[in-house]
Amino acid sequence: MMENILGFPVSTVYGKPVQKVAFYKHMEMNSKMKQHFVDDVAEMNWLYKLAPSTLNVSDGKRVHEIVVFVVRLKVKDCPLDVFTFIDKMMPRYILFVLEYEGEYRLLLNYKEAADAEGATFRISRSFVSEWTSCGDSEGLEALHLTIEGNDMDAVYEHFAGAISGFGTHSHAHTQRIIELQALISTKARHDESLQKKIRAEKQFNKQMELNGEARKIKREIAELKKEMEEQQGGS
């Protein structure tokens, strides 16, 4: 049996190797993606199966099973797009544990079903933790990942909240923070564009008008950031 590196209940340990060739054959990978998969990934193992049958939790409305893959890498900077692609193509909720020479990080592509049948998924955001070394005093416990919640939806949302750093426990709060971050980023780019226009503008009246618009954008960003702080840690 493979090592229970995350310390999850023994009942969840699946411990099966995953042949890389299975991804080449059954997924439409472009040549660049396939090359990264061949050159950068040493091996994959299906370490945990989290489900009502393996945990003392109820089934979820959205999430019925979470698969945990441990991926040993040949290179530390393997593009995360490789795993995003795999995740999009698999009708499952997946947590990746990436390992490179004794260092580990967690990757969760936060997703939801894109159709009523749950055959395809849409990824809202990819959450990834910092690399942590097994040689550290805390070891893999530094990843701070535990199984919490009364149903599979809650277990998945807890993973997302922990890995993202949001501290959220519900889909609504996590999704809202993702939306707020996108809005803040858009408005910040608008503000940056306005500042360039202000510096280039020669007419005083036009400068004043642009400065007023920039102040308005800054107030909106501050309000969005305040809401985001309120959402963090939300249930």
pLDDT of 57 reads 96
Q: Inform me whether the pLDDT recorded for 32 exceeds 90.
A: no
Is residue 94 included in any domain, yes or no?
yes
Same-domain pairing of 140 and 67: yes
- The answer to whether residue 111 is domain-embedded is yes
Could you tell me which residues come within 8 angstroms of residue 25 by beta carbon, excluding any fewer than 6 positions away? none
Mean pLDDT over 194-207 rounds to 93
Q: Does the residue 2 lie in any domain?
A: no
Which of 165, 188, 218 finishes a domain?
Answer: 165
Residues 144 and 70 in one domain: yes
| Domain assignment of residue 3, yes or no | no
- Which of 140, 165, 190 is the C-terminal boundary of a domain? 165
Q: Are residues 33 and 139 in the same domain?
A: yes
Q: What is the pLDDT of residue 73?
A: 96
Residue 139: per-residue pLDDT: 47
Burial 40-55 (b: 16+ CB within 10 A, else e): bbeebbbbbbbbeebb
Residues 71 and 142 in one domain: yes
Domain residues for the domain of 70 are 10-165
Judged against a pLDDT cut of 60, whether residue 49 lies above it is answered with yes
Tell me the C-alpha distance between 96 and 40, whole Å.
15
Question: Are 104 and 154 in the same domain?
Answer: yes
Handedness of CA 162, 164, 167, 172 (dihedral sign): negative
Contact by Cβ (8 Å): 126, 84? yes
89 against 213, higher pLDDT: 213
Bigger pLDDT: 7 or 48?
48
In this structure, the answer to whether residues 199 and 120 fall within a common structural domain is no
Spatial distance between the Cα atoms of 175 and 231, rounded to a whole number of angstroms: 10
Domain boundary among 124, 144, 165: 165
